[in-house]
Amino acid sequence: MGLSWIKMASYYYMRLRGLSNYGLTCCINALLQSFSATPELLELLNKYHPPEEAELNNVPMQLKNALCAMKDTNHHSPHRDFLDCLHRHSIHRFTEHDADEIFHSILNLTQKQMTDKDLAEEIRKLYEIKVETQVMCKECSHIQKTPNSLYSLPLAIREGYNTLESCVQSFAQQQTLRCGEECYCDRCMMKRPFTHQLKLVSLPSVLCIHLKRFRNDGITRKLHNRVTFLETLNMNICNDGQSENVLLAKGYYSLYAVIVHIGTALCGHYTAYIRPTQDQNWCYADDSTVRQATWKEVQDTYEGKTAYLLLYRKMSESASG
């Protein structure tokens, strides 16, 4: 009796609900579906209680309200206030947006506006990818390091066929600066040719991967090339022995949301595939339409209707074997 009630409750808890499109808001709608499938974020937002007068223009507060309202099936427009709030922060309706940029804007505004700084820090840590840029002088081998942090891992796509693993590997591969490009070496005390390397220092429990499908070389175009990915991602792949210490961060990750971009760089539409927990089926959300989906359908986003953001959750050590 007790167990079936829990099963029932979790079914309603996790059931996806559609979100109306209020004028090119598909990008934010798709992101909201992914935030809604991130209970780690909800748990932190639920602890947030800003002063009442600050609520209307407060992005983290409106995000919390929207995510709570999405669970209430009687609520007709759970995210309307959130959209209005973003609109007042220059994320306008009736404007085509880039899902990775909006993902960053929402997290940055949350950091900026959250009055509870400890809570803001916990949300930052939930998504924060720490990287280090290393440039090495080719003359004296002196290495200069610059730390940086990211909310999504930007992966370049090559022409032809890509696997997610190959994209991650090229992210950390050594590149010589282009011909004529030199950096100032602190030891040689002059400009020298350098090699350039990005090192992943640590990975968060929620890993957002950004497949860089939009390229701007004068005019923005979309790369439709095939990128395959699996439901489980092994982030130990860079430890190949040749590039020692390239990847300090490691672990196995489980895919739970895919933000899909359909169309061209000029005219597109966003939808989302969501799987809130590993023992659930995939669901598909296209604005107000939601339905059950299959892993096979998610795989169709390797090309054509293309996956753009991939959200992975770190698996516990025991689960990853």
6 versus 190: smaller Cβ distance to Zn ion? 190
Q: Which of 187, 212, 226, 291 binds Zn ion (CB under 5 A)?
A: 187
CA distance 307 to 163: 13
What's the distance, Cα to Cα, between the start and end of the chain in Å? 33
Asked if 156 interacts with Zn ion (CB under 5 A), we say: no
Task: Extract long-range pairs of 291-297: CB within 8 Å, 24+ residues apart.
Answer: 295/231, 297/273
CA distance 210 to 235: 15
Q: Which of 294, 262, 270 is nearest to 30 (CA)?
A: 270
* 145, amino acid identity: K
Per-residue binding string, Zn ion, 7-46, x by CB under 5 A, is ----------------------------------------
The amino acid at residue 170 is: S
Work out the number of other CB atoms within 10 angstroms of the CB of residue 152.
Answer: 20
Minimum Å gap between C-beta 137 and Zn ion is: 3
137 counts as binding Zn ion under rule CB under 5 A: yes
Q: Least Å distance between CB 173 and Zn ion?
A: 22
Binding flag, residue 101, Zn ion (CB under 5 A): no
Per rule CB under 5 A, is residue 142 in the interface with Zn ion?
Answer: yes
Q: Scan for tokens 């400890």, then name that residue.
A: 118
User: Do the beta carbons of residue 93 and residue 83 sit within 8 Å?
Assistant: yes
Q: How far is the CB of 147 from Zn ion (least distance, A)?
A: 21
Q: Which of 6, 8, 54, 140 binds Zn ion (CB under 5 A)?
A: 140
**For residues 33, 35, 36 and 39, what is the CA-based torsion angle, rounded to 10 degrees?**
150
Q: How far is the CB of 192 from Zn ion (least distance, A)?
A: 5
Stretch that binds Zn ion, among 58-66, 153-161, 178-186, 225-233 (CB under 5 A): 178-186
Question: Among residues 6 and 188, whose Cβ is nearest to Zn ion?
Answer: 188
CB of residue 188 to Zn ion, shortest distance in Å: 3
Q: How far is CA 214 from CA 16, 218, 306, in A?
A: 29, 12, 12
Q: Nearer Cβ to Zn ion, position 103 or 194?
A: 194
Residue count, binding to Zn ion (CB under 5 A): 8
Q: Which residue number is nearest to Zn ion in terms of Cβ?
A: 137
Binding site for Zn ion (CB under 5 A): 137, 139-140, 142, 185, 187-188, 192
